[in-house]
Structure 1
Amino acid sequence: MSLDADQVVERRRLKRRLTLWRVIGVVAVVAALLAGMGRFDLDSGDHVARILVQGIIIDDQDRDKALAAVAKDDHAKALIVKIDSPGGTYVGGEALFETIRQVADKKPVIALMGTTATSAGYMTALAADHILARSSSLTGSIGVIMQTADVTKLLDKVGIKPISVKSAPLKAQPNPLEEFSPAARKATEDVVADYYDMFLDVVEERRKLPRDTVKALADGRVFSGRQALANGLIDAIGAETEARKWLDETHKIAESLPVQDVEVGDDDEPWRKWVDSKIEKVLFSERLSLDGVISLWQPNLW
């Protein structure tokens, strides 16, 4: 009798253990599915992809990979690029422009300007097939800038004399620790002028404007959305609703098709995105100095 009782107790324990492990297994499977949902969104059916370009634009491999995936995804019928950026490095803007154009080779791309889409932010919009802005959006600021400082007189006052040994006079110029010589200034101005011409080429080609008109608009000024429309820098005033109407009327992509946001980077480490966003401004000045020429509206404010 006692043996039977022991067996019953043991069986009950075994059932409880099995139930526990089954629950753990179900929870693990559900967690894995939830974790993977964001990563595999683009495989869940026909949709319109949407990517957000905000803050300072730099060369970003994760972003480029995400856009390349959109280009290859047959379920992504179009791409909406939402821009809220004052610009960034010229290389960053150029890379983003080229990557979006690769998407545009496969499917329609439309740009939506938010509060600000200036400098490299405007260059990003130029990659789209159609550009929309709010009436009060700020855009334009077409141009580039390279900044430096001459602190040699300040160092003289505190008794410090910088010494450099270099292979040629223009090596490491401009340099805050050396006087900005006429030759160094000329060489730097030539570089800035070349970047500027490249920017003008993009505007002229994408907006189909005469070169003289582009030069007149590309004096560094910003435009409201209404001014940009009047000057041919954008196509229409509107937001996402108008973007969907354009896709429907021009490319027969139904307004009822769902929108799915493009995830950039590793979804397994969301904390890293949060940390990066907090320290972005701290690191930005260093990243700019590495890139050199920038295309940014009001660089001193960022």
Structure 2
Amino acid sequence: MARAKTWVIVLLVIFGLFLLFTFSFIWALKSSLEATPTVKRNSVLKINLQGHITEKYPENAISKEIESSEMQMFDIYQALRMAKVDDRIRGIYLRISSPGLGWAKAEEIHDLLEKFKQSGKFVIAFLESSNELSYFTALPADEIYLQPHSVAEFNGFATEVPFFKRTLNKLGINPQVENIGKYKSAGDILKRDSMSPAHREATRAILEDVYEAFVTAVVKRKNLQRQNFETLLDKGIYQSEEAFEAGLVDGLKYENEVQDIIKEKIYGAEIDKKVNFIPVQKYARINPKEVGLGRGEKIALVYAIGTIVSGKSEYSPMVGRVMGSQSVVNMLQKASKNRLVKAIIMRVDSPGGSAIASDEIWAEIEKIQKKKPVIVSMSDVAASGGYWISMGSDAIVAQPNTLTGSIGVVGSIFDLSGTYDKIELVWETVKIGSHADIFTDKRPMTPEEWRILKKMIKDTYDTFVQKVAEGRKMSRVEVDKIAQGRVWSGKRAFQLGLVDTLGGLDAAIEIAKQKAGIKKETEVELIAYPKKKSFFESLLSQFNVQVKKYLFHHQRHLALNSFLPDDIRQFIQNSFILRSLSTREILAMEPYIPIIK
């Protein structure tokens, strides 16, 4: 028996060493392929907007490999800044095919392309098919081509909101939900079977703002009469030929034909020449100093992405990226202690989460502000807890269609007694203390327990409102009027005083320079946090469990992404957070962010 155990241990060690060698070899090979690229003269930067676009890869090298199929906004930002001044880059080939991004990211890319064009270089866009989001992103292009016999979905904007009360009831689940705020719809989708008037009002306002931004941009760029274009939008979906006849695109071309047009722009009649298309992910790896950028003062760029929980950031198969308060606080502390860093920009893309974890990040920002300015740059979503972690900064920058606000809280305790009855599972409880089992899912709450839950939620809401009032220099009454759990567009949040400036990362950098006493004309270098761990650091810390866990979970996540509609998938993802925290924490979270179609 002892000899058998010894052999098992020896085999496990050999197998472990084999895996270590294999991973090391793969990583070494991959690293050699990812060396700083050589950029040839007459190159064209290729931006292929397809699939999900994240803000930035996670720090963990292993989980980065899992998410490497996604494009990151950080690459797009860095690449466009460098390409603008890089003489080796002649222009941009923008290829768009069903990109997974929100309207704020689309506005960011749109603005970056407009700034790139100031260099006098060309931007050519190719759309496999088109909808409003894809078309808006491509609008700055000198020429927009649509694939023949495809579809142009210019039919206005809509969002669909699921209500799960009846579904849960059929399963014997009674979601005991309490939320503060007239517009806090987080609980409504669990406890109602239709939209409240307030929920409908807030959702329609978001659609109206997106509609206005889209129509205004198209009419201006294409020199169209607004009334004519609005009539076109109201008629529905168009074939590519109809979109061309309406003057919305410059031609109907297949991708190889578009690439020939780009070749002609560079080489003229020399058709035997080959265009060097360099992907944005590859080009972003060159050192900014190579093109004369990044030589000045340093500004930290701290990423705060995902649903907010206590502890460390991670990747979850059911909820995607999770923002751990401990991880964000650690990044902020590192940036604060770095003497070369003159200011900190926190890039937020989060629907919120744990109120306690959100407050932990808020408190760290309050402390850091005594030494260095902290600016928040909002991406697609910075709602509820996402706004909580932002509100104490020196300045908040949002895109016009960032979804933010949602100053409200929700608490839920799921009563599963009906489910247990259906499967004839009987529980017995032994307790010392009247409320020892207050968070149980084995029975409905008592009136006294409801009173306790409501008080907890009310206290958290009051704290939220008070901190917004202090951070935004408003009265509690003023904040309460615009809080109530309502989600606002960045444009309306700016009008209400919840946001300081409309714009993207560039605007945040300019404010950071001003706050840090850096001259406007001075170039700055961005230091991104989290910094990527080496492969060996990740391997040693997580080798035994995490590799299997990540790969297995990723397969499940891919299945979830492949077979479910976006809105249902999003609800399921956030429901896992609601369920996991429902028995212990009050949430500052908007679990159903409208997906605009």
Superposition TM-score, scaled by structure 2 size: 0.40
- Say if 1:251 and 1:232 are closer, same or farther in 2 by CA, change over 3 A: same
Residue 103 of structure 1 corresponds to: 368
SS for the counterpart of 1:180 is coil
Of 267, 280, 302, the match for 1:51: 302
Contact 2:372/2:516, CA 8 A, preserved across alignment = no
1:262 aligns with 2:555: no
1:288 aligns with 2:553: no
Identify which range, 277-286 or 235-244, moves more after superposition.
277-286
Displacement after TM superposition at 1:262 (Å): 1.6
Residue 378 of structure 2 corresponds to: 113
Aligned counterparts, 1:166-205, within 5 A: 166-205=431-470
Residue 495 of structure 2 corresponds to: 230
Displacement after TM superposition at 1:292 (Å): 1.6
Contact 2:365/2:393, CA 8 A, preserved across alignment = yes
- Say if 1:103 and 1:61 are closer, same or farther in 2 by CA, change over 3 A: same
Aligned counterparts, 1:120-131, within 5 A: 120-131=385-396
- Say if 1:97 and 1:202 are closer, same or farther in 2 by CA, change over 3 A: same
The residue type equivalent to 1:149 in the other structure is F
SS for the counterpart of 2:350 is strand
Give 5+ residue unaligned stretches, structure 2.
1-27, 36-58, 60-294, 311-324, 558-572
Q: Distance in 2 between matches of 1:286 and 1:163?
A: 22
Contact 2:296/2:525, CA 8 A, preserved across alignment = no
1:240 aligns with 2:505: yes
Contact 1:170/1:183, CA 8 A, preserved across alignment = no
Contact 2:417/2:444, CA 8 A, preserved across alignment = yes
Displacement after TM superposition at 1:247 (Å): 2.8
User: C-alpha deviations, 1:158-196, integer Å up to 9, x for none?
Assistant: 433322111133222132211211011001111111111
- Say if 1:218 and 1:72 are closer, same or farther in 2 by CA, change over 3 A: same
Residue 188 of structure 2 corresponds to: none
Q: Distance in 1 between matches of 2:432 and 2:527?
A: 54
SS for the counterpart of 2:415 is coil
User: C-alpha deviations, 1:243-293, integer Å up to 9, x for none?
Assistant: 222233443224511111022685444576993995896984675257521
Residue 345 of structure 2 corresponds to: 80
Q: Distance in 2 between matches of 1:251 and 1:144?
A: 34
User: C-alpha deviations, 1:31-77, integer Å up to 9, x for none?
Assistant: 9xx9xxx9xxxxx9841000111111122323322211211211000
Identify which range, 214-223 or 270-279, moves more after superposition.
270-279
Identify which range, 150-159 or 88-97, moves more after superposition.
150-159
Q: Distance in 2 between matches of 1:265 and 1:197?
A: 38
SS for the counterpart of 2:499 is coil
SS for the counterpart of 2:306 is strand
Q: Distance in 2 between matches of 1:186 and 1:137?
A: 35
Contact 2:301/2:344, CA 8 A, preserved across alignment = yes
- Say if 1:197 and 1:285 are closer, same or farther in 2 by CA, change over 3 A: closer
SS for the counterpart of 2:389 is helix
Identify which range, 78-87 or 269-278, moves more after superposition.
269-278
Of 147, 156, 164, the match for 2:412: 147
Specify which structure has the bigger relative contact order, considering alpha-carbon pairs within 8 angstroms and separated by 6 or more residues: 1
Q: Distance in 2 between matches of 1:52 and 1:234?
A: 19
Identify which range, 142-151 or 205-214, moves more after superposition.
142-151
Displacement after TM superposition at 1:111 (Å): 0.4
Displacement after TM superposition at 1:213 (Å): 1.5
Displacement after TM superposition at 1:103 (Å): 2.0
- Say if 1:195 and 1:264 are closer, same or farther in 2 by CA, change over 3 A: farther
Q: Distance in 1 between matches of 2:338 and 2:296?
A: 10
The residue type equivalent to 1:129 in the other structure is D
The residue type equivalent to 1:258 in the other structure is E
Contact 1:62/1:264, CA 8 A, preserved across alignment = no
Greater share of residues in helix: 1
The residue type equivalent to 2:306 in the other structure is G
User: C-alpha deviations, 1:85-130, integer Å up to 9, x for none?
Assistant: 0001111101111112222111111100110000110011112100
The residue type equivalent to 1:298 in the other structure is P
Contact 2:304/2:328, CA 8 A, preserved across alignment = no
Contact 1:151/1:177, CA 8 A, preserved across alignment = yes
Identical positions, percent: 26
Q: Distance in 2 between matches of 1:88 and 1:185?
A: 22
Two-structure CA RMSD over aligned residues (Å): 3.2
Give 5+ residue unaligned stretches, structure 1.
1-26, 39-43
The residue type equivalent to 1:75 in the other structure is L
The residue type equivalent to 1:288 in the other structure is L
Residue 23 of structure 1 corresponds to: none
- Say if 1:163 and 1:226 are closer, same or farther in 2 by CA, change over 3 A: same
The residue type equivalent to 1:262 in the other structure is Y
The residue type equivalent to 1:96 in the other structure is I
Displacement after TM superposition at 1:199 (Å): 0.7
Residue 486 of structure 2 corresponds to: 221
Q: Distance in 1 between matches of 2:505 and 2:476?
A: 31
Superposition TM-score, scaled by structure 1 size: 0.77
1:91 aligns with 2:370: no
Displacement after TM superposition at 1:222 (Å): 0.1
Q: Distance in 2 between matches of 1:232 and 1:83?
A: 18
Displacement after TM superposition at 1:299 (Å): 6.1
Q: Distance in 1 between matches of 2:438 and 2:296?
A: 53
